[in-house]
Amino acid sequence: MPFNARTLALPTTIPFVGPEALERRLGRPFLARLGANESVFGPSPKVVEAMSRAARDSWAYGDPEHHALRSAIADHLGIRFEEVVVGEGIDGLFGLLTQIVLEPGDAVVTSHGAYPTFNYHVTGHGGVLDFVPYRDDREDIDALIERMQAVRPKLVYFANPDNPTGSWHEADAVRRLMDAVPEGTLLVLDEAYSDLAPASALPAADELRPNVLRFRTFSKAYGMAGVRVAYVFGAAETVAHFHKVRNHFGVSRMAQGGAVAALEDQAYLSDVVARIVRARDRLGQIASSAGLRPLPSATNFVAIDCGRDGAHARRVLEGILDRQVFIRMPGVAPLDRMIRVTVGRDDELDRFAAALTASLADASD
């Protein structure tokens, strides 16, 4: 077969098993979908209207330069058009990043238990992952700085706020990490949950550096996970390399039009963020009432410490899945003592609360 040696050596894996695959395995549908950090509150009605209009013109390719969307993002952030690149979700942009940066054998530093899809792309392009542990259930900036200065990797990954724990660091700490990036290294700053973060957690958007790339998405607070549209911004000379390899017609007319409309409806975004905060507080109350510890979160999910080890947390997880509520858990110890639950509507949280109570009882037998 003509496949290269790197591909032949890779395991046949995917970063996440989707809820649809789990439904097929279980033989029944989920009644509450609270595992993929989607926004059940959905996109703005103005987004749906814009996408419907664009759908009528879908016989034509979308603008390969994404001009209207990149202009809208640049205006929203207060940066220049040339400092923004649009792609098919953050995951798609990570794939492009590893393609343009990595040679086989290049080192990449990340945190053990951090977002696995980034790791998936690194491995797929021949990179070698180098891990530091979490500290106090947060990505450890000091450990990342120490490791990247020792290893001098091509890429360093850091999410703020973080998935899977929902934790965050203040902007001054992030700047300290940015200041420490060595020559020849790019800092990958994953800000997928930036719209839900405290303002104090985010360096100003116009704090651009040639060795820092910042990734944001319309999948979370904007409620457009199924549309697949995100962007990366940074110094123009850095982001320009994405244009050499990106799929120029990969972001549809509907995605571009919908994302522009989403940026224009900040009132809707503010309302959704308030609903997410209320639901997040409710999830914390549910966890505490069950005798568990909810971690503080600046995202649209809550990580819940089940109080024992990973085997116990998996029993809790399986019990909740069996009761037709989709949630997930971190896959790496010691974070795997937790389950992770996306916020939902009141009826979905009621269903989760009942499933959690019953599953905890079963897991303790």
70 Cβ neighbours under 8 A, 6+ residues apart: 81, 84, 85, 86, 231
Per-residue model confidence (pLDDT) at position 210: 97
The amino acid at 205? A
Instruction: Decide: helix, strand or coil at residue 187.
Output: strand
Residues 49 and 10 in one domain: no
Residues 20 and 38 in one domain: yes
For 140-190, the pLDDT digits (tens) are 999 999 999 999 999 999 999 999 999 999 999 999 999 999 999 999 999
pLDDT at residue 11 greater than cutoff 90: no
Per-residue model confidence (pLDDT) at position 6: 86
Instruction: Decide: helix, strand or coil at residue 169.
Output: coil
Alpha-carbon gap, residue 76 to 71, rounded angstroms: 9
Per-residue model confidence (pLDDT) at position 179: 97
Per-residue model confidence (pLDDT) at position 14: 80
Domain-ending residue, one of 223, 242, 265? 265
Residues 62 and 186 in one domain: yes
Per-residue model confidence (pLDDT) at position 82: 98
* End-to-end Cα spacing for the chain: 51
The two tokens of residue 108 are 């990449």
Residues 195 and 120 in one domain: yes
Domain-ending residue, one of 265, 291, 324? 265
Residues 255 and 316 in one domain: no
The CATH number of whichever domain residue 38 belongs to comes to 3.90.1150.10
| Contact criterion met (CB below 8 Å) for 190 and 158 | yes
For 270-309, the pLDDT digits (tens) are 999 999 999 999 999 999 999 999 999 999 999 999 999 9
Q: CA nearest 3: which of 127, 129, 124?
A: 124
Instruction: Name the phi and psi angles at 179, rounded to 5.
Output: -65, -25
Residues 29 and 54 in one domain: no
The size of the chain, in residues, is 365
Domain count, the chain: 2
Model confidence at 67, pLDDT cuts 50, 70, 90, reads very high
Overall average pLDDT of the 218-222 stretch: 98
161 preceded by cis ω (within 30°)?
A: yes
Alpha-carbon gap, residue 175 to 203, rounded angstroms: 7
The CATH number of whichever domain residue 94 belongs to comes to 3.40.640.10
Per-residue model confidence (pLDDT) at position 364: 83
Per-residue model confidence (pLDDT) at position 13: 77
CB atoms inside a 10 Å sphere around CB 42: 14
pTM of the model as a whole: 0.97
Residues 38 and 71 in one domain: no
Per-residue model confidence (pLDDT) at position 154: 98
Per-residue model confidence (pLDDT) at position 240: 98
Residue 289's domain comprises 5-42+267-363
Domain-ending residue, one of 229, 244, 265? 265
For 68-96, the pLDDT digits (tens) are 999 999 999 999 999 999 999 999 999 99
Residues 237 and 302 in one domain: no
CA-to-CA separations, 57 to 49, 81, 178, 252, in angstroms, rounded: 13, 25, 43, 11
Residues 94 and 236 in one domain: yes
Residues 94 and 119 in one domain: yes
Residues 248 and 329 in one domain: no
Per-residue model confidence (pLDDT) at position 256: 98
| Contact criterion met (CB below 8 Å) for 227 and 256 | no
Residues 35 and 174 in one domain: no
